[in-house]
Every structure is written in structure tokens, then in C-alpha cells.
Amino acid sequence: MHARYASRAQRRVALQPSRSTVTQNPHNEADRKAHPGGASAGRAGDGAPLDPSRHRTLAEARRTDGDELGAVAHLIAAHTLDAYAAAAPNASALNLCDVATGYFMKGDHVIAEYWYRLVLTLDPHVAVACQNLAAILASVGHVAEAAAYRERAYRIQRVFVEGSGAGQRRVLILCAAHTSGNVPFDALLPGTTCCRIKYAIDYADDEEDHQLPAYDLVFNAIGDADIAAPLAGRLARFVSRCARPLLNPPAAVARTQRHRTAHLLDGLQDVQMAPCVQSDAAPASRAAPDAVLVAGGIDFPVLARPAATHGGDGLTLCENRAALETWLSAQAGISYLTAFRDTRSADGFYRKYRIIFVDREPFPYHLAISPHWMVHYYSADMERHPWKLGEERRFIENPHAVLGEQVMSAIAAIGKRLDLDYGGIDFTVLPGGQVLVFEANATMLAHFERETGALAHKNPYVQHIVDAFERMMTRHAAI
């Protein structure tokens, strides 16, 4: 089996589902936008007509409406359908795929889905169309259909090249395609300076490692240790053959499983972690959960979560044994059970700070302040409370002044102990000045905000992270 790859610079793909919000009824909305005159015969699966003349009519209608982009899209569709109808030797759906991807990149997923489905009607083997259609379907909850398209995409193609490579650093990105858990690398590896070679290694045979495009260095983006665990052997074989520098080696990522992190950070001054144990499956008996908790030194209440989940997905506070038994009985795989620590500040709010480590150096990223114990930036209503944003701004502008040297020294020690080229911690500060770490791993999100939005103040500090990552890559690529 040969590694197949695409190299068109304007084609964007994502190895994890998009989180953008899209219309909940894409088919009807696509029909409304693309077919002002109503339905016609000879349509593709989701409503796109297969008659070239119909697309020419739609192009005129779009131009009359002032939608020049839509007009061009329909003209490209007409020319593509003409070529397929004539069995032209150069007939290809790739230009039409670029149309779909243009809509996908600007967030119009309704129309992107419309065009991707037409592309796949003409050529069911366009991996990019399958991949991005899977992302669109996943974002509106069509999980089973999304999984089918994602599987189809990576059976066709394992390597996706973004960028021309001319004058750019060529970075091979190891990704897990079948699930989430990849480091969010869009900001870290901007297309202006990097040619990104995404390699879905979980679908690739060993021999495909020898057939990859040339690259300068490797970034292991499989940052979730639970997702990486089943791939440990495959990743180790890749590493053993890799002659270029590799950032975030799989062995370093493997040490960050939730139940191992406390041991990893053990002995660091002013650093605490709540005890955490791993539960392999639903308990075989009523006594089993008790035995696991006792062995881990954990008492109720307990935080229970499925493995390989982020953003609070599935996270539940179990106040007693009955609640935990009920939760465990619904689980099919590995779970984590963590002692709950009430970390409310004196003002009644919970605070969760995030520090990003680049080459073991700490950079402040954000602070979320919430009245609820499950603190997430998106649910804390940060934008609606100027006092919260003011406190966050002070933290990211000068974390040493806000947290103090005792805390910052502890954080610096955590970065060295984690020993990741890219990673981070979510934490709070206890009244005695100790750092209570909630999690420490390589999957920590860092991204730019809208320049005109309420969170634009964060962007210069995100740029500090990106710049540090660029300096690290430059140093390693020169080796």
C-alpha cells in the first residue's frame, strides 16, 4: 500500500472534527441558497443538480443577486459536469472540491456540504471531500455518518500536504485520524511559514513511513496519552526509523496519563495534585469501586470521567457510592476517578489558570473564573463580566506580579518535569501559595481570538507562544 497525498496549497483539511457552529438543517438551507427557482430533476444526493444547464441557470441567478462567488461556483460545477458527461480524459472534481473548501474555510458549512456531496457523487475517492464533510457532519451531531466519511477518507489517503513548500519549513505532523486527541496546531504552525504534512499514522502501514514527502522535522500531535496508548508500538517503530528531529516524543506524551501525572510531578515543591486512579471497565461487583478508591487514597465526593475526553465531556461529580456505581455501570471503557477538591476562592468563585509550555518555558494563556466547580472558559461568561476580563488581563500581562514568585517557581519546575516541547497545565492557586494542578499534558489549546472581539487582548500573548514555538523549530531544524 502506498501513501497517497494531496499537495494543493488552497485545500484545507482537519484531522479532527471542526467545532464551528453551523445550520442544523443543511440540506434545506443549501436548497434555498442554491436553488431559488425550486427543485429540478437529476440531482445529486443532497440536492445539487447533475444537469450542467441547470447550474448555468443558477449561476445567472446568483449573479443577478449580487453573489459573484456563488455564480463562479455554479459555473465551475457546469464545466465539471460537462467534462464528466463527455468522458473527457482530464475530467476531475478537484476544482469543484476547491470551491467546497473555500466555503468550508470561511465557515459557510451549509454550502460547503452541498458542494462536497456533489464532488463525491462524481468521484467517491476524493479524500479531502470525505474528510471535511465528516467534520461538518460531526459538528451538527451526525456522528455515525461523520465516522463513515472519516473512515472512508483515511482508507483512501493518509498524507495531506498544506502549502507549496517553497521557502517554507516542511513539518511532518503525526496525527490520530480516527478520533480527537491531537494537539491543536493551527496557530503553532501557520501556513505562511510552514508547509504542513499531516500524516494519519493510525491508518498507515509501516512501509508508508518510507514513502513520505521530504520534511525538515516532525511534530507529534497525538497529545492525548490515552489515544496514543494503543498506537505505542506503531509510534515507536516510526521513531526508530526517523532521521529528523522529533518534537513531543511519544514516550514523553505517554507519561501524562491522568493517573500517572501525580507521580510524575511528585516531590516538586509547592505542587499538589488530587489523587487519581484508572478504572478499566464497569465494576464486576459492588465492592470493586471501593477497592479501587481505597487503593488510590480517594474518598467521596469523586470526579468521574471517561478516558480520552476533554472540555468536561462526560465529567460527573459523584457524591456517594450509589452515584458512582450508577455512573460506572454506563461506561464501556477506561475511566478516571479523581478526588474532588473544593477550590473556591474567598469571593466564592472558582479560578482555573492555563499556562502553556514551549520548550519547557512557561507562557500565560488564560484565566477562567466561574461560580461552578466545572470551570471552562466558554461556560464562565467571561466576556459578559469586565471584572473577570480585567483579572485575566492582569494575569497574562504579568503572571509573576499576580501569582507571585513562589507560584511561578513551582510552575517553572512543572514545565521541566513534564519535559514536553509543547504542553501545558490547568491549575489553581491554593491559599498557602501552592499550585494545585488539574491536568498537565500536550493537548492544551492555544489559539488567536477575533481582532475585533472582546478577547482580542489575548492575541499578543498567543503570539508570544507562537514565536517561541517558531524559535524552537528553527533550533531543532538546524540540527
- Higher pLDDT, residue 380 or 16: 380
Distance between CA atoms of residues 430 and 476, nearest Å:
37
Residues 371 and 470 in one domain: yes
Output 95-100 pairs: Cβ under 8 A, ≥24 positions apart. Answer: 96/122, 97/11, 97/126, 97/128, 97/129, 98/8, 98/10, 98/11, 99/72, 99/73, 100/129, 100/132
| Averaged pLDDT for residues 140-163 | 91
- Higher pLDDT, residue 188 or 4: 188
Asked whether residue 422 is assigned to any structural domain, the reply reads: yes
pLDDT in tens, 352-402: 999 999 999 999 999 999 999 999 888 888 999 999 999 999 999 999 999
For residue 131, give Cα distances in angstroms to 156, 158, 319. 10, 11, 41
Asked whether residue 402 is assigned to any structural domain, the reply reads: yes
pLDDT of 179 above 90: no
Asked whether residue 267 is assigned to any structural domain, the reply reads: no
Exposure on the CB side of residue 129, measured as CA atoms within 13 A: 23
Distance between CA atoms of residues 396 and 446, nearest Å:
13
Q: Which triple of cell numbers denotes residue 212?
A: 513520505
Asked whether residue 261 is assigned to any structural domain, the reply reads: no
Residues 45 and 140 in one domain: yes
Element containing residue 325 per DSSP (H, E): helix 321-329
B/e letters for 453-471, b = 16+ CB within 10 Å, e = fewer, are eeeeebeebbebbbebbbe
- Stretch among 11-20, 116-125, 457-466 having the lowest mean pLDDT: 11-20
Distance between CA atoms of residues 187 and 463, nearest Å:
9
Output 395-400 pairs: Cβ under 8 A, ≥24 positions apart. Answer: 395/353, 395/364, 395/367, 396/364, 396/365, 396/366, 396/367, 396/457, 396/458, 396/461, 397/461, 399/355, 399/362, 399/364
Residues 371 and 250 in one domain: no
pLDDT in tens, 307-345: 887 777 789 999 998 899 889 888 888 899 999 999 999
Distance between CA atoms of residues 119 and 336, nearest Å:
43
Helix 127-139 to helix 143-156 angle (10° resolution) is: 160
Residues 150 and 171 in one domain: no
Residue that terminates a domain, selected from 156, 190, 215: 156
The average confidence (pLDDT) of the chain is 87
Cβ 183 vs Cβ 210: under 8 Å: no
pLDDT of 192 above 50: yes
pLDDT of 403 above 80: yes
Residues 113 and 243 in one domain: no
Residues 150 and 167 in one domain: no
Distance between CA atoms of residues 43 and 20, nearest Å:
28
Residue 167, domain extent:
159-254
| Averaged pLDDT for residues 428-453 | 94
Residues 358 and 452 in one domain: yes
Give the confidence band of 247 by pLDDT, cuts at 50, 70, 90: very high
Residue that terminates a domain, selected from 286, 315, 339: 339
| pLDDT-above-90 percentage for the chain | 71
Residues 149 and 165 in one domain: no
Asked whether residue 266 is assigned to any structural domain, the reply reads: no
| Averaged pLDDT for residues 258-270 | 95
**In degrees, to the nearest 5, what angle opens at C-alpha 311 toward C-alphas 369 and 201?**
145
Whole-structure pTM value? 0.81
Domain total for the chain?
4
Please give the backbone phi and psi of residue 254, each rounded to the nearest 5 degrees, phi first.
-60, -25
List the strands of the sheet with 302-306, edge to edge: 276-279, 335-339, 302-306, 316-318
pLDDT of 30 above 80: no
Bridge pairing between strands 361-370 and 422-429: unpaired
Give the confidence band of 167 by pLDDT, cuts at 50, 70, 90: confident
Look up the CATH number of the domain holding residue 298.
Answer: 3.30.1490.20
Please provide the size of the chain in residues. 479
Look up the CATH number of the domain holding residue 454.
Answer: 3.30.470.20
Beta bridge mates, 335: 279, 306
Asked whether residue 265 is assigned to any structural domain, the reply reads: no
| Averaged pLDDT for residues 193-216 | 94
Four-CA torsion 325, 329, 332, 333, nearest 10 degrees: 10
Residues 165 and 148 in one domain: no
- The predicted structure's pLDDT at residue 316: 93
Asked whether residue 268 is assigned to any structural domain, the reply reads: no
Whether cis (ω within 30° of 0) applies to the bond prior to 301 is yes
> DSSP characters for 347-403?
TS-EEEEEEEEETTEEEEEEEEEESSSS--GGGTTGGG-HHHHHHHHHHHH-HHHHH
Residues 6+ apart with CB under 8 A from 249: 220, 239
Give the confidence band of 27 by pLDDT, cuts at 50, 70, 90: very low
Residues 323 and 365 in one domain: no
Residues 72 and 211 in one domain: no
Residues 409 and 457 in one domain: yes
- The predicted structure's pLDDT at residue 39: 32
Residue that terminates a domain, selected from 339, 365, 385: 339
Please give the backbone phi and psi of residue 7, each rounded to the nearest 5 degrees, phi first.
-130, 20
Distance between CA atoms of residues 391 and 367, nearest Å:
8
Beta bridge mates, 277: 337
Asked whether residue 206 is assigned to any structural domain, the reply reads: yes
- The predicted structure's pLDDT at residue 366: 95
